[in-house]
Amino acid sequence: MSFTDPLRTVPDFDAGDAEWLHLLVGDWQMVADLGVGDLLLCFPRSVVPASQSPTGRPIPTEDSDFLVLAHARPTTGPTAYQKDMVGETVSGDVARPLRRAWIDQRIEKMGPSEWSSLAPRSVTLVPLVRNNRTIAVVSLTAEPHHDRLPSRMELVYRQSASDLLRMANEGTWPDFAVRIDSRRGAPRVGDGLIRLDTDGVVEFCSPNGLSTFRRLGLQGDLTGQNLLHAACQLQLNAPGVDETLAPVLAGTMPWRAELSAVKASASLRAFPLRRGTERAGALVLCRDVTELRRRDLQLVSKDATIREIHHRVKNNLQTVSALLRLQSRRMNSVEGRNGLQQAMRRVSSIARVHESLSHEISEDVDFDDLIRHQVKLAVETASATQHVHTEVHGEFGRLPSKSATSVALVVNELVANAVEHGLRDRDGTVELSVAHLQDEVDAAGSANRVLEITIDDDGGGMGDTVIEESGVSAYRPPAEGEGLGMQIVRTLVASELGGSIRWQPGESGGTRVVITARFPQQASGRG
């Protein structure tokens, strides 16, 4: 359930209001850190609609309690609440100031007598006003500075928190222009804070912020310098400052950017400050992400190396397959030629899996495209003169690379067997179907995805005989008339796929082979 669901039940509020609250809660950890206090997002349990309200706006009913929708604790100081407040109800004397702030739409600071349960902490109530309507109330609960003189950094922190809460009250923060960036290394208050004036000149830079710029090559102090001009003097990997980075350094756009020097990298994020419609400066968070980017580069290099290995293995296997084909053409014995062709087909199956892995970053394979080509290849190799039609139904999804190799080999052998022994020299059809069964939990408590793979042919059939094998019974010596292919199938199904295999008559003649296979759930994405 989304924390904005209570808001959505009131007709006077729309999806834009809910999305705005999501943006605020996505960034309000910074406000909790700057204000060194806990933030609670409160919403009334009972609302008078705008059509019935004396103010013409939705307001809480006279005796309405408030529900806490979200809670953020500071990482820069102690918490005011030892338990998670989400889902708690604020009622009685404590709810009255919340209702008053909602109706008046003004920021209020509460004294100990009005919020007695939290004395001697100070509580600031901030109604969030958007389109002239209050849509929630935020409370900031912090320790007062009665026993000591606050430092310059604390004063700047608290002033910055006050500015952001004032903008939230005016509906100008958060800004819908903010860009969603999932890249690792988002800067936080403790990583480094820079406060700019309206001209982009640094009014204050925290010690961590200065250290970050020193690692980038800055000489001297930042305070009093234009941040954009100071960044242009650094020896960056990219010459100058591009059009994306410049608005961040100037504090004019709420974006993220990155400064990369020869031996260091820094992640930046700007928060423009406004007073009404006028600019009032900006906050810029900065973080040294040198080690993060170095590790990212190592991962990219590792992924490229793994893909190159798969590519080379595929090339080597294709070379082996080609050598087997050449050797088979020189064989006078029909039995020897058929044996080499079967080996060539098996090597080609494994090569196709490695070819797919050479194009992937992850260690699993999108198996559907691969298996369609594999079925056609197996039929073309096994059928000498007859015309065999192939059909594939259902989707495998993504399979782990180890399991993909086993499934490809098993399907290859069974399709070839259906052509060679089921259809023999006749034309016909071979169908491959896959169905997803209910997931299972093994003895170790791990979830497994279960697939049922079915191969049908419309050949001569095997009579009324039904053969089913799994587990230890699958490791038996080959029976009379069985070749190496069937022994490979039984062994792979039992050992690598943890399943069973059943041969039975087809519904309309021919033979049906049903395989039950299990795969680890963490690789169960269905592409």
Query: Looking at residues 457-486, what average pLDDT do you find?
Result: 73
Query: Looking at residues 157-167, what average pLDDT do you find?
Result: 95
What lies within 8 Å, CB to CB, of 287 at 6+ separation is 185, 186, 187, 188, 191, 192, 212, 266, 267, 268
Closest CA to 412 of 357, 374, 365: 374
User: Under a CB-based contact definition with an 8 Å cutoff, are residues 192 and 209 in contact?
Assistant: yes
Q: What is the pLDDT of residues 185-229, one digit of tens each?
A: 689 999 999 999 999 999 999 999 999 999 998 988 999 999 999
User: Under a CB-based contact definition with an 8 Å cutoff, are residues 72 and 24 in contact?
Assistant: no
pLDDT, residue 427, reads 85
Residue type, 78: P
Residue 468 pLDDT level (bands cut at 50, 70, 90)? confident
pLDDT, residue 296, reads 66
Closest CA to 374 of 419, 421, 415: 415
What distance in Å separates the CA atoms of residue 307 and residue 79, rounded to the nearest whole number? 48
Query: Looking at residues 359-369, what average pLDDT do you find?
Result: 72
Residue 466 pLDDT level (bands cut at 50, 70, 90)? confident
pLDDT, residue 303, reads 62
pLDDT, residue 1, reads 57
pLDDT, residue 113, reads 45
pLDDT, residue 300, reads 61
Most confident of 86-90, 336-340, 469-473: 86-90
Q: For the beta carbon of residue 305, count every other beta carbon within 10 angstroms.
A: 10
Closest CA to 414 of 477, 339, 362, 342: 342
pLDDT, residue 452, reads 92
Structure-model confidence comparison of residues 378 and 288, the more confident one: 288
Q: What is the pLDDT of residues 33-55, one digit of tens each?
A: 999 999 999 999 999 999 999 98
Query: Looking at residues 483-507, what average pLDDT do you find?
Result: 83
What distance in Å separates the CA atoms of residue 379 and residue 402, rounded to the nearest whole number? 24
Q: What is the pLDDT of residues 249-301, one digit of tens each?
A: 999 999 888 888 878 889 999 999 999 889 999 999 999 988 877 776 666 66
User: Under a CB-based contact definition with an 8 Å cutoff, are residues 391 and 376 in contact?
Assistant: no
Residue 422 pLDDT level (bands cut at 50, 70, 90)? confident
**Does the pLDDT value for residue 524 go beyond 50?**
no
Domains (ranges, CATH) in the chain? 5-170 (3.30.450.280), 189-288 (3.30.450.20), 391-403+411-527 (3.30.565.10)
CA 395-399-403 angle, 5° bins: 120
| b/e per residue 179-213 (b: at least 16 CB within 10 A) | eeeeeebebbbebbbbbbbeebbbebbbebbbebb
User: What is the Rg, in whole angstroms, of the alpha carbon atoms belonging to the chain?
Assistant: 34
* Residue indicated by tokens 């293995």: 313
pLDDT, residue 331, reads 80
User: Under a CB-based contact definition with an 8 Å cutoff, are residues 491 and 525 in contact?
Assistant: no
Which uninterrupted H or E stretch holds 519?
strand 511-520
- In the sheet that holds 511-520, the strands lie side by side as 388-393, 428-441, 447-457, 511-520, 500-505, 467-470
**Does the pLDDT value for residue 314 go beyond 50?**
yes
Distances (CA, A) of 400 to 26, 362, 397, 522: 35, 9, 10, 9
**DSSP per-residue string spanning 161-188:** HHHHHHHHHHT-SS-TTPPP---S----
**Does the pLDDT value for residue 157 go beyond 90?**
yes
pLDDT, residue 526, reads 41
| b/e per residue 127-143 (b: at least 16 CB within 10 A) | bbbbeebbbbbbbbbbe
pTM above 0.85, yes or no: no
**Does the pLDDT value for residue 80 go beyond 90?**
no
User: Under a CB-based contact definition with an 8 Å cutoff, are residues 154 and 55 in contact?
Assistant: no
Distances (CA, A) of 384 to 380, 424, 426: 8, 10, 10
What distance in Å separates the CA atoms of residue 350 and residue 440, rounded to the nearest whole number? 28
What three-state secondary structure class fits 13?
coil
Cis peptide leading into residue 144 (ω within 30°): no
**DSSP per-residue string spanning 216-265:** TT--S--TTSBHHHHHHTS-BSSSS--TTHHHHHHT-S--EEEEEBSS-E
Residue 439 pLDDT level (bands cut at 50, 70, 90)? confident
Burial-class residue 508 by CB neighbours within 10 Å (0-12, 13-18, 19+). exposed
Structure-model confidence comparison of residues 520 and 72, the more confident one: 72
